[in-house]
Structure formats: structure tokens, C-alpha cells
Structure 1
Amino acid sequence: MTGLLTPALAARIGEEMTYTAPEPLGRASIRYFALATGDTDPAHLAGDVAPPTLICETNQYAGLPRDVDGYAGHGWHLEVPGTRLVRGGNSYRFVRPVEPDTVVTARWRLDDIVERVTGGGKRMLVVTSIAEYTDQQRRLLAVNKETLIYVSV
């Protein structure tokens, strides 16, 4: 049985993508995100400070076309035949509050791809990527570690 981690996939480790918002975040975006997520923090509802995960939604400013699932945000588009994609989760570290005049830049890095075997004996790839979000002065705002799992079907 051949492995899932091909030389072509391994060669992509370390790949980077950068997206910069075309304009400042804005009070309206902050307020609408807070309302849409049920956030009741008065600073968020007034648009003074962004809810932390708002800046991590790269789809709002990546300018990418929608994929087959309708998602328009950042993705690595890894081809792993014979698998299904399972989201492994995100781990966030928020460094500083984000204000309405902030122009966000996200720098994504494909950090690692590791092949493992599930408890049921299925092969899987665990893909880790890291995004660092900065403002227009290049100050760190947040770090997002994302895990994707490709499981053999």
C-alpha cells in the first residue's frame, strides 16, 4: 500500500501566501460581524474594537473565487486522492485589539504535513498551517494555527 504523503505534497511544505485587505476594517464590518455572531460586547456592537476572530476570516479580503464548496477564503487546495477532508480545528493567539482603521494582512504558511494511521487502521494526512495577522505598521495582531485532516475513505 502506498502512502498518502507524496513527494509533490511534501515539496509544498513551507509554501506561503499573503493577503492584504484593500481597505481598513471599518466600524460597520465590526458591528455587522458582532451582530451576525450574537456578540453582545458593547465595544464590538459600537464598532470600536473588532471581535478577535473577525480578522481571522481571510475570506473577507482575500479576493479569491469561490471553490466547489462555495468557500472564497484561503485554502491550500491539496490533491489527496481517495480521502475526505475533515477540519481538525484552529488554535488562536490574540496579541492586540484591532480597531476600525486597521488594514489587516494575513501571511499563511503551510507548516507541516505528517502521515499517520487512525485507530481503525486508515491512513491520514495531518496538515498544519499557520497564519500571522499584522496591521499596516506590521505589528502582530494574532496567530491562527489550523489543522486539516485528510482521511482515507
Structure 2
Amino acid sequence: MGLLTDELRVRIGERRVYTAPEEFGAAAGRYFGLAIGDTNPLYSDLEYARAQGLAGVTAPPTLICETNQYANIAPDPEGYAGHTWGLELPGTRTVRGGNSYEFFRRIRPEDVITATWEIADMTEKRTGSGTEMLIVASRASYTNQHGELLATNEETIIFVALGGNS
């Protein structure tokens, strides 16, 4: 197999850290809830949120994992303004392998979020038909300005060789 080169192997353990330039804000949770069709009053009604034991309004849990919406990342050549590893594997197509989230505390409007991403592992495998794949596992932790862990995200990206068997 040959997708996992020495050049890629040395990137295992590489980290990227993104800290928001401002507080999260109440509007972010409200707008994200509307955008995804989640009208939970925890995202828009201060009195309701307080009646549920919260200090104030919050946001849908997965919003914190959308690093691009607060990390102030410049768009790449294709216009994507989010976290990527910039892994270039000519002759492959990229497939999202999925995400696994764990949430520890709800986001508060005054939170300043820091996302710390790390390439955890890279593994070469073959599909059932013999096509080469490179599986890249990364993980992110999301903390606030006090270092409190808010959430984690484990992500898998799969690079599949084009043209069948290699």
C-alpha cells in the first residue's frame, strides 16, 4: 500500500487551535436553532431558560462543533472558511466517515470558544474490492475562556484511491 507516505505520517499529532475573536453571543444560538428548524425556547427565551435551571439562553449543542462559524478562518481556494487539514492526496476522492460528539456543558452567550484539533491517527486499508483507502482520524476539544471542557468531536475522513485496485 502507498497512500500513507512518510510526509503524511509525520503529521500524526499535528494540532490546530482556533480561538473565537469574541463572545459566542445569544444571537448565534437563536439563529442556528432557526436555521436547523429547532424552535426550542432554550435558544431564544431568557425566562424559559432560567425556569429550566440555566443562567440564560443557550444554543443547540452541535453549534459548538461548527468551528468555521467562530474561528475567523480565511476561505480556502474553493471558498470554504472552515477547519481542514489541507491533506492533498492526488488520485483520491474524499469521503466523510462520520463524527462522534460528546457534550459536557451547554454553551453560554458569554463563552469565548477555543477549538483544538489534532490528527489522532492515519491508517491504510483496502475496500472489499481491493481499492486502497487512507483513514484519517482527528479529534477536537472545545473549551471556553476558563478552560472548561464543553464538548469533544471525533471525526473520520477517508481518502479512497480512484481507478479501482491499486
Query: Partner of 1:88: helix, strand, or coil?
Result: strand
What amino acid is the match of 1:77? G
User: What residue is the counterpart of 1:123 in the other structure?
Assistant: 132
Q: What is the deviation of 1:79?
A: 1.3
Q: Which has the larger radius of gyration?
A: 2
- Where do residues 13-52 of structure 1 align in structure 2 (5 Å cutoff)? 13-46=12-45, 48-52=57-61
Deviation digits for residues 37-56 of structure 1, max 9, x if unmatched?
10121102337011111111
State the aligned residue count.
152
Distance 2:78 2:102 in 1: 28
TM-score (ref. length: structure 2): 0.88
TM-score (ref. length: structure 1): 0.95
Unaligned runs of at least 5 residues, structure 2: 47-56
- Where do residues 62-141 of structure 1 align in structure 2 (5 Å cutoff)? 62-141=71-150
Distance 1:68 1:122 in 2: 29
Q: What is the deviation of 1:97?
A: 1.1
Distance 2:9 2:44 in 1: 44
Query: Partner of 1:133: helix, strand, or coil?
Result: strand
Deviation digits for residues 93-124 of structure 1, max 9, x if unmatched?
00111111111000000110000001111000
Unaligned runs of at least 5 residues, structure 1: none
> Post-superposition, which runs of at least 4 consecutive aligned residues in structure 1 deviate over 4 A?
none
Any conservation in 2 of the 1:27–1:46 contact (CA below 8 Å)? Answer: no
Any conservation in 2 of the 1:18–1:105 contact (CA below 8 Å)? Answer: yes
The percentage of counterpart residues that share the same residue type is: 57
Superposed CA RMSD in Å reads: 1.2
